[in-house]
Structure 1
Amino acid sequence: MDDPVGCRGLRIEPLGRCLRHLTDRERAAYFSGLGPGSAVDHRGTELDALLLTQLLDALRDPVTRAVRLGHADFRSATFEGTADFRSAIFETNADFRSATFMGTANFVSVTFKSNAWFGSAAFAGVTWFELTRFAAVAGFAAVTFKHDVAFVSPTFEGAARFESATFEGYTDFRTATFKDHARFRSAVFKSDARFTEVFFKDAAFKSAVFECNAWFRSATFEGDARFGLAIFEGDADFRSAVFKGNVRFTSAVFKRSAGLGPLVWAGEVTLSGAVFSCPVTIAIAARRLECWRTRWSSTAALQLRYATVDFAHSVFEHPLTIIAEPDLFRLSDGTLVDEQVLSRAPEATVWVASLRGVDAAHLVLADVNLSRCLFTGTVHLDQLRLEGTCSFEVVPPRTHWWNGRPVWFTQRRTLAEEHHWRSGRPGAIRGWNTAVFGTGHVGPAQLAPVYRALRKSFEDGKNEPGAADFYYGEMEMRRHDSSTSRAERRLLTAYWALSGYGLRATRALVWLLLAMTATLLAMMLWGLAVDDPKPVSTGKVTGQDIRLTTDTPNPANPIGPLQERISSGRFEKGLRVVINAVVFRSSDQDVTSAGTYIEMLSRLTEPVLLGLAVLAVRNRVKR
């Protein structure tokens, strides 16, 4: 009989009709011509469960009882009822593109020895690919699964392509193995998607949409994992996953909750441009974490190990805490997280690389290393909270040689950007760190307010000794700022030279001792009289009237060689003058005219130096 009008099934020559519309005798004759490994081509054919079973029986190996197909072309075919390919072996290419599966599709334990194409196919019923082996390319691009689909424990030895696929039911990829590229770009998961304990050689979920929960718990990503522009509308669970390559969540959106950890990432983690609209806890051990322009619209806690973190231009709308974890992470059952992939990494210090463009009003840092951090451009830096031990860079040990012995200047905490600025100056002292490419150039005018804000942050935290170093840095930047008036810079230079801006007690005491020594020598040489003058009385007797006048002669200036003026007696007198001058008192010692001016100068300068020394000590110990 002829095919009905509108039948799209491929006609079998020389019969001129598709398999569905053959007579029973013609169909039996066709099946008798098939054998294990035969090629079949039934494009556009409508196959019900019985007809498909008869076709597969004709391809069954009489010894092993396994269905073996050669080149199989079922493009645009329609499978009515159950399509049962269980345990079938496709020796060469299998093409199911644009096919429609009206009922259950059963590919359990099927082996595809060559390429398997399912692009644009539609699965209306439950779909099973459990224990399926794909030896070459598995093409599921633009496929639609309208019901639950189970890819439980399949093995994809070639590339697995699920680009633009739609999963409307529950999706289960538990314990799947992807030995080559796994491509889920623009895939849509409208129900829960489970990728627990999956092995990915290289995974791409760029622009994928997870409308419900996405579970990647205990998954292993051997190569790079890309989730850029992905949208997680439900829970995103990556707990206990292991990432051995780079991971990118660039511009991804997390709308409900995200459990990123505890995780071990051997490479670089990118959250740049991502949006966290939900509370998030990230516990990771990784080499680098990039969060450029990341938006945190809810509270967040980052518990990190090893990582260098870059938060440039991120937005914190709610409190965000970054904590350096000293100990290994533990799973919920108490098991320690294996960090073997980071075995060659340095110590588990967490470094903050940049806070430029960040509003730090909601930011809390605990036990992190800020010695490389770029602060210029940070907003509300004075409200930054530093908890625990947050370390900064220090100035290089500038060595001064005195009597053949090195003497190191007092160290202080400083910013990485000051290192970069000083290292670029002509005649820079060795030891200042040079800027890496891309950090930009800033000078004293930009660094002074940064130091000022950090000083206030320490002061608000009742850490006055910690604030002292940043006050010193602020004054240094003001002193070197070319936009500051010359008079102010000279005044700051004097303040620095005399007492290190009121923070270097030793320097002020040295100047005080030098001033006292100079005053003492000046007094002994020129200020003290030869002898203490004695009062002299003169009078006149007129009749019975006696008039007496008592006067003290002016102290006589010392004469003779200078070395003769230095004696123990003059030393003791001069020392009294100097000590009284330090405490701003008069010694009542008779001095020459020159001594008067020397004493006046001493009483003006030496108490100031003493006050600077006391101020420096107070600034270092007060709380």
Structure 2
Amino acid sequence: MTSPAAPSPTPPPWPHCAEGTTTTDPVGCRGVHVTGHTRCLAHLPSPDRAAHLAALVPGSNVDHRGTTFDGPLLTALLDALRDPITARPRLGSALFEAATFTADADFRGATFTADARFDTAAFTARARFDRATFTDAAQFERATFSADARFDRATFTARAQFYGATFDSHAQFGDVTFTANAWFNRATFSAGAWFDGAAFSADARFDAAEFGAAADFGDATFTARARFGAVIFSADARFDAATFGADADFGDATFTARARFGGTRFRGNASFADTGFVGRVMFGRTRFHADATMVGAVFDSEAFFGGTVFEEHANFAGATFRGTTLLGPLECRGRLILTGAVFGVPATIQAVATAVECVRTRWDSAATMRLRYAYVDLTDAVLTNNPVTIATHTAPFVDTYGIAVDERAMTGTPDIRLGSLAGVDAAHLVLTNTDLTECRFFGAVHLDQLRLGGETAFARTPPGMDVRRVVPLRWTDRLALAEEHHWRATAPGRARLRAGWATAPPQPGPAACPPGPPALAALYRQLRKAFEDGKDEPGAADFYMAEMEMRRLDRRPGRGHAERGLLTAYWALSGYGLRASRALAWLLLAMAATVLAMVLWGLPTSDPKPLTTGTQAAPGQPVSLTTDNPEPVLTGPPRTRLTGKRAEKATRVVLNSVVFRSSGQNLTTAGTYIEMTSRFLEPVLLGLAALAIRGRVKR
């Protein structure tokens, strides 16, 4: 048992009773003098006390600072002030500073029509202020309530100050009405504190207060600003169905046990910056009408946000999640900011959001982000040895209460759009049903291990004709990275080729130059490997073509003209072996040219007949014969050679050349060389066309 504190040697600032002065207590009784006497009410002789109380009427001012009240004395005082009509005490100015109430202090239903001052008062038994009315300032600064303190349904129409008050037992403020400021800064609630249904019409301040047991603010209404900065909740804290009409500040607060905000409404900015949630925190069905700030918050246990609605931005920048996390299903009509957040355990994020910012976000465990409508930025995100899946949720979310998440405020398609993977190690990243049209890949590593599933959309090259060339060419479309668009949109000369390339969106800070062909070729090479591993041959073919295109457009010093010339020929003949129509067109053109050359110069005018000559040495001797094949010759002008018969022969020769067969036709010397050229070039073009067709149909 703790020994009582020694009496203070400092006398109070009012004329005091001094009854019971001793050597150890030179001040004695600190009760203020009753008017016209030199003793306090407690030590006033009985006749004088009776006369004093008889002189009081309802609404009288009373001054009993420092006085000690036992049960009968307080009852006698309040009876003297009791209104005969309402049967309730009615006090004017009530000064009870530093007073001590050794028995129940029963002020139930009392009306304080002027200042009520209970600063540093000590209530050693129950304090009952149920249904009391304070029409002027009510001050309980540093008051001590050793037993239950009940203010249920009390009304404070002016300032209510409980700064530094100590509640050693239950503190009940249920359905209390605070019309003016209510200050509970640095108050200590050692047992349960009930503010359920309380109405705070002006500022409510609980900064640095300590709640040692359950704190219940369920159904409370905070019309003006509510401040809970640096508050310590050592047991369950309940704010279910509370309404915060203006800004709510929980910055630096600590919730050691469960924190419940189910169905809470935050109509102003809500700040939980650097708040520590040691126990389970539940924001189910909570609605934030303005910005919600949870910067630097720490969630050591389960964090549940099912059915939560953020009408503006939700800022979790730098937050730490150490317990099982279920962020959602939630709706965020602004930005869901997870910049710098750390997820140390498996996390599931289900959100309908305009944007999700995961810049420098760290996932130390497996995580799944199922999103709708969101623009996602993963710049410099850290994925450590566990898969992180980002996917478009194909159907509207249904929260744990069986209610569909409202999407009427969202615009566009439900597909999520990735803005950047710069600085990300993509080895453990899985993207499903995502739109990568605007995604920037430059700076990411291990893109060859990126896993793509479902319907993944990339940007495409602008289609149409290149009208800046002498011979118009039709450009077929293919998959392209956003960085190629950005580079082509600003590239000078022939690298740009045609209009329609998208420029880079504005970025904060100095504008950075988009990566050029060498970097783009490396990106396309890695992503092509990702497509191949996913058995998407058509997609891999497009990225192979893009890689080759970047190699062809690489103008770095040291790159040989021969290599660029070879790549240009490869592109022109078959689109790097990927454009069957181009290879077939060249094949048909080459065959037509070969047929024409054969008709004009390759086929002789007439087939030469063998000529046999010989001599007989003497009658009866054998005859020696020699047969010669004359060289095929052309006669007549070229126009006479353009006949259907000669064209048919030339066509047979060319068709046989395409499949590596000899026609057996007599040819001129020029025709022989033409056939040799045809047998080399045209099968190559046929093979390129077959290769391109196979690349498009293979899966």
Question: TM-score normalized by structure 1?
Answer: 0.92
Tell me what 2:491 maps to.
425
Deviation at 1:545, TM superposition (A): 4.7
Identity %: 45
Tell me what 1:611 maps to.
687
Deviation at 1:176, TM superposition (A): 0.8
Q: 2: CA distance between counterparts of 1:150 and 1:582?
A: 89
Q: 1: CA distance between counterparts of 2:539 and 2:203?
A: 61
- Larger deviation, residues 94-103 vs 207-216: 94-103
Tell me what 2:396 maps to.
328
For residues 138-161 of structure 1, the C-alpha deviation after alignment (integer angstroms, 9 at most, x for no partner) is 111111112211112111111101
Contact 1:499/1:612, CA 8 A, preserved across alignment: yes
Does the residue aligned with 1:399 lie in a helix, a strand or coil? Answer: strand
Contact 1:37/1:68, CA 8 A, preserved across alignment: no
For 1:509-524, list aligned pairs within 5 A: 509-524=584-599
Which blocks of at least 5 consecutive residues in structure 1 are unaligned? none
Deviation at 1:408, TM superposition (A): 5.2
Deviation at 1:415, TM superposition (A): 1.0
Q: Kindly provide the amino acid, as one letter, of the partner of residue 611 in structure 1.
A: G
Which blocks of at least 5 consecutive residues in structure 2 are unaligned? 1-5, 19-29, 34-38, 63-88, 115-129
Tell me what 2:630 maps to.
553
Contact 2:61/2:91, CA 8 A, preserved across alignment: no
Residue 198 of structure 2 corresponds to residue 129 of structure 1: no
Q: How many residues align?
A: 610
Contact 1:36/1:67, CA 8 A, preserved across alignment: no
For 1:573-592, list aligned pairs within 5 A: 573-592=649-668
**CA, structure 1 residues 39+161, in 2 after alignment: closer, same or farther (shift >3 Å)?**
farther
**CA, structure 1 residues 12+42, in 2 after alignment: closer, same or farther (shift >3 Å)?**
farther
Q: 2: CA distance between counterparts of 1:550 and 1:302?
A: 88
Residue 389 of structure 2 corresponds to residue 389 of structure 1: no
Q: 2: CA distance between counterparts of 1:411 and 1:207?
A: 50
For 1:206-605, list aligned pairs within 5 A: 206-317=273-384, 318-342=386-410, 345-399=411-465, 409-426=475-492, 428=496, 429-438=498-507, 440=512, 441-483=514-556, 484-543=559-618, 544-560=621-637, 562-605=638-681
Does the residue aligned with 1:340 lie in a helix, a strand or coil? Answer: coil
Contact 2:377/2:418, CA 8 A, preserved across alignment: yes
Q: 2: CA distance between counterparts of 1:95 and 1:178?
A: 20
CA RMSD in angstroms comes to: 2.7
Question: TM-score normalized by structure 2?
Answer: 0.82
Q: Which of the pair has more CA radius of gyration?
A: 2
Deviation at 1:58, TM superposition (A): 5.7
Residue 217 of structure 2 corresponds to residue 151 of structure 1: yes
Does the residue aligned with 2:246 lie in a helix, a strand or coil? Answer: strand
Q: Kindly provide the amino acid, as one letter, of the partner of residue 474 in structure 1.
A: E
For residues 336-376 of structure 1, the C-alpha deviation after alignment (integer angstroms, 9 at most, x for no partner) is 2222332xx11211111111111222221111111111112
1:200 to 257, 266, 271: 266
For residues 286-332 of structure 1, the C-alpha deviation after alignment (integer angstroms, 9 at most, x for no partner) is 11001111111111111111111111111222111122112111133
Q: 2: CA distance between counterparts of 1:113 and 1:10?
A: 32
Contact 2:108/2:131, CA 8 A, preserved across alignment: no
Q: 2: CA distance between counterparts of 1:474 and 1:229?
A: 43
Q: Which structure ranks higher in relative contact order (CA pairs < 8 Å, sequence separation ≥ 6)?
A: 1
Deviation at 1:50, TM superposition (A): 4.7
Tell me what 2:106 maps to.
53
**CA, structure 1 residues 158+333, in 2 after alignment: closer, same or farther (shift >3 Å)?**
closer
Q: 1: CA distance between counterparts of 2:12 and 2:440?
A: 68
Q: Kindly provide the amino acid, as one letter, of the partner of residue 596 in structure 2.
A: L
Does the residue aligned with 2:303 lie in a helix, a strand or coil? Answer: strand
Q: Kindly provide the amino acid, as one letter, of the partner of residue 231 in structure 1.
A: V
Q: Kindly provide the amino acid, as one letter, of the partner of residue 662 in structure 2.
A: S
Contact 1:48/1:79, CA 8 A, preserved across alignment: no
Q: 2: CA distance between counterparts of 1:7 and 1:160?
A: 40
Contact 2:341/2:362, CA 8 A, preserved across alignment: yes
Does the residue aligned with 2:266 lie in a helix, a strand or coil? Answer: strand
Deviation at 1:333, TM superposition (A): 4.8
Contact 2:380/2:423, CA 8 A, preserved across alignment: yes
Deviation at 1:83, TM superposition (A): 2.2
Q: Kindly provide the amino acid, as one letter, of the partner of residue 540 in structure 1.
A: T
